[in-house]
Amino acid sequence: MDRKNIIIGILSVLLVLASACAWIGWESDSNRVEELEARLDTLRRQEQRSAVLRSVSSQMEEIAYQQKSISDEQRLEAIEQTKYANEMRERSEIERQNAIIAQNNALESEHKALEAFDLAEKQREMAEHQRIQAEFSKRVADTLSYIALGRSLGSLAMTQYQTGNDELANMLSYAACLYTERFHGDLYYPAVFSSLMQTSQSKNIWSEHHGAVTCLEFIQGNENMMVTASDFGEIMIHQKIGDKLRSSLIFNDKHYDFRFVAVTQLGDILAVSRTGHLVIIRNLKAKTIMPIEMVNHPNRIDMINDGEFYLVSGENSLALLDGKTYKVISFRDLDFKIISASRVDYKPLLFDDKGRMHIVESIDKFTTKKIPVQGKVTSYASSKSSKLQAYGMNDGTIYLIDKKGKITRLQGHRSRISKMKINNLDLYSSSYDGKLNLWVSTNEKIEPMTLFSTGSWIYTFTFDNSKYSVWTGDQRGNITEATISVPLMKERLHKKIKRNFTTDAWNYFIGQNVPYEPFIKGKEAKR
């Protein structure tokens, strides 16, 4: 039973194994069939795809042929376009080259035109320059000729004046002034200025003093009144009325020797006598004589500190006075001799015999400097505006120092310089040689112009408030007024002329080459 079962079991196992093998085989065949079918299916799809691809390829090939045809056409067209573009470029290049050539030709033409213009302009400028030079030369020649004519007419006018032919002298003098002024000549040339002064009658002389007029001063606040004093003890008040001088003697004592007069801010007159006295006159009437015995030979009085004090200077001593009472409040001896005195920067200035100058700050304080020139200084003048300084010497020499320190020696006086004044850039000087000279510092060569000569020592001079006139006092006791304003003298002279030159007189005295002109309008010329 058991064996049968075992056999049955083995058979069963074999059967199972055989079934399993049969199933596996079937399964394997089945899988292979499926795989073959899948491959077949894949092949079919590939064939179909290949057919599609062939179709697409064929279409693409057809398209490519079409594109190629189009491309060939486009290429041909592009070639044609390129050819056309090249032709246009070549044509444009030719036109550009032609334009450049035309431009260069135009530039060259313009350049030539500019050169021609420049040449013409230079020729024109040269011609204009030559014309100007010719005109300038003519003007220079005319100027020199007319200036020489003016000087000649001035000399002729003085000759006619001295012979008593006043009418002709007046016309000649006016013509001399006219041509000198018109052609910028020197109106202070002796012949021109002297004739103008004489014919215009611009100098007046009054003999009022018995002694030498040593000082002259205008009264502040009254341009027509002045005070003078002499070495004969005279003090006078003068009032200018028109061409007349009304004089009044307010002090007279021959024992006094007045050397300097000052008019204070209060209107008081202070006269310093060399005898050692100070005469004080208040309100032109009240007189006080105050001795200043401590000052040896006083000869000057100066204001200090705007009239707070007054300084009296002598030969070798000083006295300080109260500005209101005029009493001596201080005294000082000096170790030098004062040879002259003046003012600088509103302060007293003393010159000694040792070649020094002392600016007086106070009676106890001096600023001492060495005199920048050699010799004995007898007069000094300076100007704050022009920075000019002038030193007048005992021998008549004047040293003028400009703002840069340049020293110019002026020679025109023969004797001691008594006084100097600077007005702007003009220097005025008086001397014991009797001359009042004018020096114009702006001239290249500074030479003296003698305004007038008195024939006597000139001790002092001053200007009126307008500075149109200068007043002098001399040794003979004369007071001289001289107008120094050329326009004023010319105006006075013109008023004196009553007729014009006749044509014959014009041709004779002035010259046929000088165009005739009337000096008085409305007066016809006669032969």
Q: Say what the pLDDT of residue 117 is.
A: 79
Average pLDDT over residues 279-293: 90
Residue 22 has pLDDT above 70, yes or no: no
Are residues 223 and 236 in contact, defined by beta-carbon separation less than 8 angstroms? no
The fraction of the chain above a pLDDT of 70, given in percent, is 84
Is residue 134 very low, low, confident or very high in pLDDT (cuts 50, 70, 90)?
low
Q: How high does pLDDT run on average in the chain?
A: 86
How high is the pLDDT of residue 100?
Answer: 84
Q: Backbone dihedral region of 233: left (phi > 0), alpha (psi from -120 to 50 degrees) or beta?
A: left
Average of pLDDT values for 38-45? 72
Burial class (CB in 10 A: 0-12, 13-18, 19+), 405: exposed
Residue 82 has pLDDT above 90, yes or no: no
The pLDDT of residue 56: 56
Whether residue 526 is predicted with pLDDT greater than 60 in this model: the reply is no
pLDDT range class, residue 83, cuts 50, 70, 90: confident
**Residue 401: C-alpha distances to residues 348, 381, 404, 441 (Å):** 20, 11, 8, 10
Look at 244 and 9; give whichever has higher pLDDT. 244
pLDDT at res. 465: 82
Q: According to the model, what pLDDT value does residue 96 have?
A: 82
Mean pLDDT of 104-122: 79
More confident residue, 109 or 455: 455
**Greater pLDDT, 79 or 271:** 271
∠ Cα 180 181 184 (to 5°): 85
Higher pLDDT, 322 or 6: 322
- pLDDT tens-digit readout, 361-386: 999 999 999 999 999 999 999 999 99
Dist. CA 521–CA 146, nearest whole Å: 22
Confidence check: pLDDT of 121 > 90? no
Average pLDDT over residues 237-257: 93
Structure tokens of 159? 């000759």
Q: What's the pLDDT tens digit per position in 380-413?
A: 999 999 999 999 999 999 999 999 999 999 999 9
Average pLDDT over residues 9-29: 64
Q: What confidence category does residue 322 fall into, taking pLDDT thresholds of 50, 70 and 90?
A: very high
- Residue 442 clears pLDDT 60, i.e. is over it: yes
Per-residue pLDDT of 483-509, as tens digits, reads 989 999 999 999 999 999 999 999 999
> Domains of the chain: which residue ranges?
131-199+494-513+522-527
Q: Give pLDDT, residue 25.
A: 60
Percent of the chain residues past pLDDT 90, beyond the cut: 56
CB 278 within 8 A of CB 261: no
Confidence at residue 445, expressed as pLDDT on a 0 to 100 scale: 85
Q: What pLDDT score does 93 carry?
A: 82
The residue with greater pLDDT, 65 or 212, is 212
Q: Would you state the structure tokens that stand for residue 439, as one six-digit string?
A: 């020096």
Q: Which amino acid is at 75?
A: R
